[in-house]
Amino acid sequence: MNQLEALKQVTTVVADTGDFHELARFAPQDATTNPSLILKAVQKSDYAHLLRDNAARWSGRDLAERMDRLIVRFGCETLAHIPGRVSTEVDARLSFDTEAMVTRAERLIELYQAEGVHIERVLIKVASTWEGIEAARRLQGRGVATNMTLLFSFAQAVACAQARVQLISPFVGRIYDWYKARAGSSWDEAAMAASADPGVQSVRRIFDYYKHFGIATEIMGASFRNVGQIRALAGCDLLTIAPALMAELAASEAALPRALDAEAARALQIEHVQLDEARFRYALNEDAMATEKLAEGIRAFAADAVKLEALMQA
């Protein structure tokens, strides 16, 4: 059994790609996309026809609707290659507008349903701002499952749990990036690897908290920089992994022990946390890494959305 197969024994493996032709190689359960991945995909010759088809079919519609139809098309194509769910992201430029996020999410669901896709096969990705978490709370109440993205802090995870969202995606690699950049030349890669990796530690803390208190929200580690981070989170509910890292796991037959254990988490001594809006905003403000990476992530996804729109109009 290779390490990818071993990982699938303890964790649901999710493909982190907009290139749905790659999915058959690794047989993931679910798949997740974002504007950056779709932007990268549509610039490949294999996917250029999707842009042309979108322009031909929906040329009279406003740009935002055409964007939603394009990403739903990618979602539908992806669902044809996997047995589970696909995550589709609400435009990051709406990350501080609760009403706009709810409206956009509901349109995405309507577009999927018009294509014959059952609502249970779609997760709507929303940025983990306070406004995004409130949007997710409302969507969950209307039967729309949400995937909270751009999550970097324990406070964000607690607020998402309170909102009873379906799933959170803590960004392991981007947390690692921040601490490595801050340390500069003093960073010791070997000493900060695996369980000592700050991104891994962040997910472990969230995992232990959720499992200790019986929180039903799923945890999906995301944004990996190396397979060591993935191995150190074996046993997490889900991990969304880029094809290149899945290939690396598949090439190794070394043992892959479970690293996270829900039963062990239930035996820990952990204090329960309750956050209102003021406490959430203060806690996020106190976490420089999370504050910076959340802002940076929103800017990056928004910039790629603008680039994707430019391609659609070219």
Pairwise CA distance, residues 183 & 174, whole Å: 14
Handedness of CA 120, 124, 125, 130 (dihedral sign): negative
- DSSP assignment string, 125-169: EEE-SHHHHHHHHHHHHTT--EEEEEE-SHHHHHHHHHTT-SEEE
Q: Which of 2, 8, 7, 37 is nearest to 20 (CA)?
A: 37
Q: Which of 35, 24, 31, 26 is nearest to 8 (CA)?
A: 26
- Assigned token pair, 307: 């680039």
C-alpha distances out from residue 87 to 7, 167, 226, 245, 251, Å = 21, 10, 22, 19, 27
Pairwise CA distance, residues 13 & 34, whole Å: 17
Predicted TM-score (pTM) of this structure? 0.96
Q: Check residue 33 and give its pLDDT.
A: 85
Element (H, E) at 177: helix 172-183
For 102, phi and psi rounded to 5 degrees?
A: -60, -45
Q: Which of 74, 133, 76, 143 is nearest to 101 (CA)?
A: 133
| Residue 21 CA neighbour count, 13 Å, CB half | 6
| Beta carbons within 8 Å of 254's beta carbon, 6+ residues apart | 3
Q: Which of 149, 168, 173 is nearest to 230 (CA)?
A: 173
- Catalytic residue numbers? 125
List per-residue pLDDT tens for the chain, 314 residues long.
999 999 999 999 999 998 888 898 999 999 998 888 899 999 999 888 898 899 899 988 999 999 999 999 999 999 999 999 999 999 999 999 999 999 999 999 999 999 999 999 999 999 999 999 999 999 999 999 999 999 999 999 999 999 999 999 999 999 999 999 999 999 999 999 999 999 999 999 999 999 999 999 999 999 999 999 999 999 999 999 999 999 999 999 999 999 999 999 999 999 999 999 999 999 999 999 999 999 999 999 999 999 999 998 87
Q: Check residue 245 and give its pLDDT.
A: 97
Q: Do 168 and 207 touch, CB atoms closer than 8 A?
A: no
Q: Do 33 and 19 touch, CB atoms closer than 8 A?
A: no
Q: Check residue 314 and give its pLDDT.
A: 78
Q: Do 152 and 174 touch, CB atoms closer than 8 A?
A: yes
Handedness of CA 202, 233, 87, 300 (dihedral sign): positive
Q: Which residues of 132-158 are buried (b: 16+ CB within 10 A; e: fewer)?
A: bbbbbbbbbeeebbbbbbbbbbbbbbb
Handedness of CA 170, 32, 58, 110 (dihedral sign): negative
Extract long-range pairs of 261-270: CB within 8 Å, 24+ residues apart: 261/235, 262/207, 262/211, 262/235, 265/207, 265/208, 265/209, 265/210, 265/211, 265/212, 266/211, 266/212, 268/208, 268/212, 270/208, 270/209, 270/212, 270/213
Q: Check residue 59 and give its pLDDT.
A: 87
